[in-house]
Chain A
Amino acid sequence: MPLALNEEQRMLRDTARDFLQNDAPVNLMRQLRDDANEKGYSEELWHKMIEMGWPAVAIPEQFGGLGFGFIGAGAILQEAGKTLANSPFFNTVALGAAAIIHGGNEDQQQSLLPKIAAGELTLALAHEESNHHQSHGIQCQAFIDGKQLTINGNKKFIAEGANADLLIVSLRTAPPSSNNDGITLALIDPSTEGIKINKVNMIDSRNYAHIDFSNVTVSTENIIGERHNSQTLLDKTLDHGRICLAAEMLGGAQAMLDKTVEYLKDREQFGRKIGAFQALQHRAANMFAELEIAKSAVIHALSAIDDNQDLAVVASSAKTLANDCYRLITDEAVQMHGGIGLTDEMDIGFYLKRCRVSIQSLGDSGFHKNRFATLNEF
């Protein structure tokens, strides 16, 4: 599995870098926050991304995609993380498209993937039900009666939940048994009767929602993957999301490291640049080292997606290392900037906040180390 980008992927990365630095600097995010923007992203930016073909990067070529793979998507997300550029890209591609690529039937793939590739369809994964990420133990219920699903339950903290054109909802349709895990995924139009979407404002100023389902009925044709037995598909989808989110987090960590090092070279106290103090030098050097090893874990995991390898172990490693280094670097960025690091005028707070939400999304390090240990049988 390659750990270096090929020439095309490098070009994609460099283009993404130039574009995002110019068209989506952190100030764009600040503006959206100041305007209390409903969507939490700029429509104009998203349209430019569509024009550049980004929603198509990870979609297989036979469905109108560009076939750059998830290494390509990861390269874009890493660059987006640097400027905190938000868009429907992550939830639509890393979670939505992943579920359809791996679980969708031919009709679903034919009808949905080209639309995703063309930027005509955005998706969100409605999965979480509590304050902590869980991949198992879904309680949101659905009864299957003939050709109809009837859904009752609550989903929480759904990223892009109030924006997406379609939701992919994880449902308990049967008690777990020896043959079936009892989990079913279904595509649901958020405007369906009985769905109540409550927007939740989080510290990262992106779009989140709690979604309540009350006797919501949809056709069984909306089911993605195996009926009553889609835990594996769900885990695989979540792993795509964990790995891609880790890529975005690396970008944020890189931006914060660069900004902090720049500050250490500029700020003077006690008659010298504070970057000349070894107490700060060693911590900065350690941040650099931690970020570099996290990058390797993440690109390895992205590569594992493209090579169709088992994702569980590599996804948990990648997310843990990204969580830990992003936290280390944003905490140190604040500390090394001193009081000014806590002012709204500096951008550091935006990264600190995005970091906190990212860590909690799709599994914190405790969750993933526990999972890693279980997968390794200890």
Chain B
Amino acid sequence: MTDLSKFKQETSEWLEANCPASMRKPQSRNEGVFGGKKFTFPSDDAKLWFDLMVEKGWTAPQWAKEYGGAGLSSDEAKILNREMERLGCRKPLIGHGLWMLGPALLEYGTEEQKREHLPKIARGEIRWCQGYSEPGSGSDLASLRCKAEDQGDHYLLNGQKSWTSDGDKADWIFCLVRTNDEGPKQEGITFLLFDMETPGITVRPVPLITGESHFCDTFLDNVKVPKDQVVGEVGKGWSVAKALLVHERTMMADIEKNMPKPKYSVDDYAKNYLSMDKNGRLQDGLIRDRLAQHMMRDEAIKLTQKRAFEEGMAGDFDMRVATIFKYIGTEEKTNKDTLITDILGMAGAGWDKENFSADEQTKTHEWMSNKALTIAGGSSEVQLNVISKRALGLPEV
């Protein structure tokens, strides 16, 4: 038996033996485990599963052991991932630390920063939020103005950050600030880490159209941040931010994979909610056409991700293709959400909890909340700019 097939067998046996039955059922919207000081686990099983996986280092399987991971090779991590998918195991831990800051620290962080922060991320001790956007800097992120003044041993921060996701629940923030006003706007940006408990920080949740407030406005008023909390070089934060954005976009293009597996497929909804004619076809010909089109495209997008991977392994991958995933993946996802709510009809437009099933509420909620997918992490229009320039080589506007 090869090492990998042995690993596969052991992994599969361990997961079978240790993953609680309730952690192998599809997860609802509020059951994600984000960790952090303020976090309460949705169930005892979620806590148990989390603890076991942390102990194995399998919350961040590819990170080195000294950083809280398991030091798995990428082949081993793939096997673990596939076995978890096969058995329907939930992700024991999710969030910005694991998906975004972690990979960026591995690339740009000092050894001290890695040893300080990565284990706390992997063990779910610290929950991170992202301080990127500002009221005047959305798609044009590099125009950000949040000011960091050099005070010798520390920076003094003043400004405002928008769309800090779960800013009220996070313990630490990774934040882009301006350390220099001169020269091109991309230069003079610095990538900082700091504790959300630092004096001078005010966090205010912003109610959204869903009725929830996952995003916050974060006000920084004379906030002191020690200089050793800079990631990468001073004034070179844009490179770190861009690397991190790639992780964010990959994560968002892969959003379905990182989300709980839905109970029903789109065609299940059509079959359950709509009438069929005597030949067993949906009576609504337009929905039938849209549904076929969506299913074909959805599959083709997933196949493109697989193709990119396989072509990469074969050394035959056209790197330009990587630029399309965030755009096309999130566009198709929001198309799917709209299609499902259209299929649900009035049941896809309900607000109260009494007259609509939990699933109907979820679908209605997703239709609203997923509108953020084509906006956050670089809007579809920004992605199209990226494709135009990097994949097609079209000139600057």
Residues of A within 8 A of B (CB): 2-7, 10, 261, 264-265, 272-273, 275-278, 281-282, 284-286, 288-289, 292-297, 299-300, 316-317, 320-321, 366, 369-370, 372-374, 376-378
Residues A264 and B300 in contact in the complex (CB < 8 Å), given A3-B307, A281-B385, A372-B292: no
Of A4, A265, A376, A377, the most chain B CB neighbours within 10 A belong to: A4
Cross-chain contact of B271 among A289, A293, A320, A378 (Cβ < 8 A): A378
Residues A378 and B267 in contact in the complex (CB < 8 Å), given A3-B311, A281-B394, A288-B392: yes
Chain B nearest CB, measured from A227 CB (Å): 29
Taking CB atoms, residues of chain B closer than 8 Å to A378 are: 267, 270-271, 276, 281-282, 288, 291
Taking CB atoms, residues of chain B closer than 8 Å to A7 are: 314
Taking CB atoms, residues of chain A closer than 8 Å to B328 are: 289, 293
Cross-chain contact of A299 among B293, B307, B324, B396 (Cβ < 8 A): B307
B381 CB-CB contact with A under 8 Å: yes
Taking CB atoms, residues of chain A closer than 8 Å to B137 are: none
Judge whether B267 and A376 touch: CB under 8 Å: yes
Residues A285 and B295 in contact in the complex (CB < 8 Å), given A294-B300, A297-B300, A299-B307: no
Residues of B within 8 A of A (CB): 267, 270-271, 276, 280-282, 288-289, 291-293, 295-297, 299-301, 303-304, 306-307, 310-311, 313-314, 316, 320-321, 324, 327-328, 381, 383-385, 387-388, 391-397
Chain B nearest CB, measured from A158 CB (Å): 29
Q: Please name 5 pairs of A and B residues whose Cβ atoms are closer than 8 Å in the assembled complex, sorted by A.
A: A4-B314, A281-B394, A282-B381, A284-B392, A288-B391
Judge whether A317 and B393 touch: CB under 8 Å: no
Judge whether A285 and B392 touch: CB under 8 Å: yes
Judge whether B292 and A3 touch: CB under 8 Å: no
Chain A nearest CB, measured from B317 CB (Å): 8
Give the complex CA separation of A300 and B299 in angstroms: 10
Taking CB atoms, residues of chain B closer than 8 Å to A284 are: 388, 392, 394
B267 (CB) vs chain A CBs: closest residue: A378
Give the complex CA separation of A3 and B320 in angstroms: 17
B279 (CB) vs chain A CBs: closest residue: A374
Cross-chain contact of B388 among A272, A282, A293, A372 (Cβ < 8 A): A282
Chain A nearest CB, measured from B116 CB (Å): 40
Judge whether B394 and A293 touch: CB under 8 Å: no
Judge whether B394 and A265 touch: CB under 8 Å: yes
Judge whether A288 and B387 touch: CB under 8 Å: yes
Of A275, A282, A288, A317, the most chain B CB neighbours within 10 A belong to: A288
Taking CB atoms, residues of chain B closer than 8 Å to A321 are: 296-297, 300
Taking CB atoms, residues of chain A closer than 8 Å to B306 are: 3, 296
Taking CB atoms, residues of chain A closer than 8 Å to B301 are: 293, 296
Beyond contacts A264-B394, A284-B388: 18 other A-B pairs, Cβ-Cβ < 8 A, are A5-B314, A275-B395, A276-B394, A276-B397, A282-B381, A282-B385, A284-B394, A285-B385, A285-B392, A288-B387, A296-B307, A316-B296, A317-B299, A369-B289, A372-B295, A373-B291, A378-B270, A378-B282
Taking CB atoms, residues of chain A closer than 8 Å to B324 are: 288-289, 292-293
Judge whether B381 and A3 touch: CB under 8 Å: no
Judge whether B280 and A377 touch: CB under 8 Å: yes
Give the complex CA separation of A372 and B267 in angstroms: 12
Chain B nearest CB, measured from A13 CB (Å): 9
Taking CB atoms, residues of chain B closer than 8 Å to A285 are: 327, 383-385, 387-388, 391-392
Give the complex CA separation of A376 and B294 in angstroms: 13
Residues A282 and B384 in contact in the complex (CB < 8 Å), given A372-B296, A373-B282: yes
Give the complex CA separation of A284 and B386 in angstroms: 12
Chain A facing B: main interface SS: helix
Taking CB atoms, residues of chain B closer than 8 Å to A10 are: 314, 316
Cross-chain contact of B314 among A6, A276, A320 (Cβ < 8 A): A6
Taking CB atoms, residues of chain B closer than 8 Å to A288 are: 320, 324, 387, 391-392
A372 (CB) vs chain B CBs: closest residue: B292
Give the complex CA separation of A138 and B293 in angstroms: 28
Taking CB atoms, residues of chain B closer than 8 Å to A276 are: 394-397
Give the complex CA separation of A276 and B389 in angstroms: 10
B280 (CB) vs chain A CBs: closest residue: A377
Cross-chain contact of B281 among A2, A4, A297, A373 (Cβ < 8 A): A373
Chain A nearest CB, measured from B180 CB (Å): 29
Chain A nearest CB, measured from B216 CB (Å): 32
Chain B nearest CB, measured from A244 CB (Å): 18
Judge whether A297 and B392 touch: CB under 8 Å: no
Give the complex CA separation of A281 and B395 in angstroms: 9
B268 (CB) vs chain A CBs: closest residue: A378
Give the complex CA separation of A5 and B311 in angstroms: 8
Taking CB atoms, residues of chain B closer than 8 Å to A299 are: 307
Chain B nearest CB, measured from A176 CB (Å): 16
Cross-chain contact of A4 among B291, B293, B316, B327 (Cβ < 8 A): B316
Give the complex CA separation of A377 and B293 in angstroms: 15
Residues A281 and B384 in contact in the complex (CB < 8 Å), given A3-B303, A4-B310, A373-B291: yes
Taking CB atoms, residues of chain A closer than 8 Å to B299 are: 297, 317
Judge whether A289 and B303 touch: CB under 8 Å: no
Closest 7 CB pairs of A and B: A285-B387, A281-B388, A4-B310, A296-B303, A369-B292, A3-B307, A289-B324
B381 (CB) vs chain A CBs: closest residue: A282
Give the complex CA separation of A285 and B288 in angstroms: 28
Give the complex CA separation of A369 and B311 in angstroms: 29
Chain A nearest CB, measured from B295 CB (Å): 7
Give the complex CA separation of A228 and B266 in angstroms: 38
Give the complex CA separation of A321 and B332 in angstroms: 14
Of B296, B385, B388, the most chain A CB neighbours within 10 A belong to: B296
Give the complex CA separation of A11 and B366 in angstroms: 46
Of A289, A369, A370, the most chain B CB neighbours within 10 A belong to: A289
Taking CB atoms, residues of chain B closer than 8 Å to A294 are: 300
Give the complex CA separation of A284 and B270 in angstroms: 34
Judge whether A265 and B393 touch: CB under 8 Å: yes
Residues A296 and B300 in contact in the complex (CB < 8 Å), given A282-B384, A288-B391: yes
Taking CB atoms, residues of chain A closer than 8 Å to B307 are: 3-4, 295-296, 299
Of B307, B391, B392, the most chain A CB neighbours within 10 A belong to: B392
Taking CB atoms, residues of chain A closer than 8 Å to B293 are: 320, 369
Give the complex CA separation of A321 and B314 in angstroms: 25
Give the complex CA separation of A295 and B307 in angstroms: 9
Judge whether B304 and A296 touch: CB under 8 Å: yes
A376 (CB) vs chain B CBs: closest residue: B267
Chain A nearest CB, measured from B294 CB (Å): 10
Give the complex CA separation of A321 and B294 in angstroms: 11
Judge whether A293 and B300 touch: CB under 8 Å: yes
Chain A nearest CB, measured from B321 CB (Å): 5
Give the complex CA separation of A378 and B313 in angstroms: 38
Taking CB atoms, residues of chain B closer than 8 Å to A292 are: 304, 321, 324
Chain B nearest CB, measured from A371 CB (Å): 9
Taking CB atoms, residues of chain B closer than 8 Å to A5 are: 314, 316
